[in-house]
Structure 1
């Protein structure tokens, strides 16, 4: 869309008149606003809106509502389901300027931030203040808090601290007509009527735009014990998990599984060092947040020794320094480079009951190898919360092949009573598969809520439902 055509649009005229050219970028969009990590092809938006605060965003949305203008919300653009990719003629609302960390209250255990604050910046600020923000995922350096809330992001610490939902005490949301809904609760207990924030956590922006968040913080650990261990198969990993949870009194804060194919590819793509001397079928990255590093570290090592004696794990490397631990995590978090080097990829984020993850991986792998023996499929995930990731590399781009590969994965998930989206959301890419995990009645109620809060359907249209 040329600048002239965009400027000729009545809604763009109204937005530019109200906010000026600095906050309303009309015309050809910057390439970074046209895509996210999913690789989904989008269209050219009419304009990029860059509000600095809730009041500006509210007035922008009200103008769009008055003109029936479709809006797509963008955060850090790290999504893998195309939810933030603009469609032709939509207006992009970018939250990149709404990035203030407003306050950190260690005594109350809360942080209040704008939705555009980058996750790692909030983590670092909380750590400097002596507190822990437990939301953590590999895209921490780019993803934004608002996007984490909108997708109810999971990540590496769910096994101990839960999804993002468990870390949200309060929200501020702008509705489709510009109404500001303030739910900035700062208490752990508040049963004064319905807790409306849960409508918007995980709703992917189709019901309202998250603008500010009150986050629950935890005490900052005094240390962390980390190890990378090798195992024979998933059954051994499950036994090891039960043993670790029992031995460490539920203090396991991460339990990340990587099949050999993923670990080998991540090491290669990121030019990392192979972590153990041998070559094993399955690897687990485990760590424990410690209150007493010396004694807790001894408990951690004793737990590993017992697991080796029992035959559940074949080898283990214990991090002797922060640098060692970071090297282990660099393998697990190296997915962005894998997606870059092996594009185009199909990325699956599914969940099944924890006991069924191993069978799910075996069945999915068999389906893929049977029909596409030339493709490389990588398996990894978060064992403690039932989340399995599958990356299929260099996939053919014709619609029939893509659909058949998706069905090869999602049919297994449906048979096991699982979810087609564990933590990335539905967006555009998974919309046609939502019925594999949600009943007709559930989807109908979602649409009823959408119609009630956004009767014109202008917020993130065509996403999720």
Structure 2
């Protein structure tokens, strides 16, 4: 009890919640259970975070940093003896600089809040994902989030210019760089981006902004062969001269699911093709951009790459197309979903996806399989639906069928969601022994007592 009182004194009023109050707080947007921990603290500043971590390090208390709880790999789960450090009250957008094209903020700011704030300045923060209203930018950085427009703008680590993080012992490492080019020794921010809170807690960020595109052109097209999907990617990227911002592939079962009742979406093109692609191009001059987009589509038709297409005629059409791609919730109806995000060379995708149904049938029997993803950057989302009562029993077999073929083709067991607890047993498929050993050395150096997100990744 005395320790809890000491902890309570480290944060301001309302910044401490005992274990008993956590039963009223959800464990995440994809979860039905509630939070569980020794206690939860909600600091308002980097200084408060530093005080909490220094105290926890001294007393050997494990700390799990939490953002928007939108992850899918149990990377922010805490156990009853651990402390949750929530960044939910650190939501200040400190500055938006239209000339330098940067935004400075606390790590608890949501992705959508930043998108809306920079939009008012005629700027764009290009990271975008379906959980934008809940996901926090600190969490996006800690997991190196990808999202819908990686093909043009890159991952989260490509958008972070500087950050501030607190080490396990309470040391504040402030590297709030605003420069695109700063080649002065080790790029320390990269230690924390993608580390999932195991090396330090990110508290503030400097993010790179872009000029807001004035136009966007979109189409949803049907394709009858996978080789043509690959050829279409190259054709459109070349034909659009670098303005291709999304190339999202939907396999037939997923397309049918999100365009049939009870889903709200309806099919812009017929449902009887094996592949569908959502194309988006962002530009600056409507007449020229639309003409270029139309010309590229016509060339794809003439080359036999496209079997059918629906072209957006309004911003409402664009939003409706994206709503189909984002309606992942449909995969959770009618069964229990085992969700994967993997990446692999585009050249290996057809064999991989064609082999999955047979491998899963042999391993677990009856199931439903949905595949979609950011094919333009090699990232596929694979969702296997099984009977709820069989979920825990069949999960290891499902994981084996999905993950094991990736090793032979140089694929990754995690494209954008991180490792957490869920993918830890499979990390060696994508990382060499030397890489894993170096990761452990970094962890031991920066967090020798192992208090930061214990048990995650390694």
TM-score (norm 2): 0.96
1:166 is the counterpart of 2:166: no
Seen in structure 2, the aligned counterparts of structure 1 residues 432 and 387 have a Cα distance that, compared at 3 Å, is same
1:241 is the counterpart of 2:233: yes
Among candidates 22, 37, 42, match of residue 14 of structure 2: 22
Among candidates 320, 327, 342, match of residue 313 of structure 2: 320
1:275 is the counterpart of 2:268: yes
1:130 is the counterpart of 2:98: no
- Kindly state the Cα deviation for residue 373 of structure 1 after the two structures are TM-superposed: 4.1
- Kindly state the Cα deviation for residue 42 of structure 1 after the two structures are TM-superposed: 8.3
Seen in structure 2, the aligned counterparts of structure 1 residues 391 and 215 have a Cα distance that, compared at 3 Å, is same
Gapped regions of structure 2 (runs ≥ 5):
none
C-alpha contact (below 8 Å) 1:24/1:47 kept by paired residues: yes
Q: 2:255 is paired with a residue of what secondary structure?
A: helix
Seen in structure 2, the aligned counterparts of structure 1 residues 153 and 269 have a Cα distance that, compared at 3 Å, is farther
Q: Which residue of 1 aligns with 2:403?
A: 410
Gapped regions of structure 1 (runs ≥ 5):
1-7
Per-residue Cα deviation, 1:147-200 (whole angstroms, up to 9, x for no partner):
110010111110011000100000000111111110100000111121100011
Seen in structure 2, the aligned counterparts of structure 1 residues 147 and 13 have a Cα distance that, compared at 3 Å, is same
Q: 1:226 is paired with a residue of what secondary structure?
A: strand
1:358 is the counterpart of 2:350: yes
- Within 5 Å, which residues of 2 pair with 1:16-415? 16-19=8-11, 22-31=14-23, 33=25, 35-37=27-29, 39=31, 44-267=36-259, 268=261, 270-277=263-270, 279-335=272-328, 337-395=329-387, 397=390, 399-415=392-408
Aligned-partner Cα distance in 2 for 1:275–1:193: 52
Aligned-partner Cα distance in 2 for 1:289–1:20: 45
- Kindly state the Cα deviation for residue 350 of structure 1 after the two structures are TM-superposed: 0.5
Q: Which residue of 2 aligns with 1:4?
A: none
Seen in structure 2, the aligned counterparts of structure 1 residues 350 and 441 have a Cα distance that, compared at 3 Å, is same
Per-residue Cα deviation, 1:259-305 (whole angstroms, up to 9, x for no partner):
01112222345321222145211100010001111111111011111
Q: 4+ residue runs of structure 1 moved beyond 6 angstroms?
A: 40-43
C-alpha contact (below 8 Å) 2:200/2:452 kept by paired residues: yes
Aligned-partner Cα distance in 1 for 2:397–2:247: 31
Q: Which residue of 2 aligns with 1:455?
A: 448
Quote the RMSD (CA, aligned, Å). 1.7
TM-score (norm 1): 0.94
1:432 is the counterpart of 2:422: no
Aligned-partner Cα distance in 2 for 1:72–1:281: 43
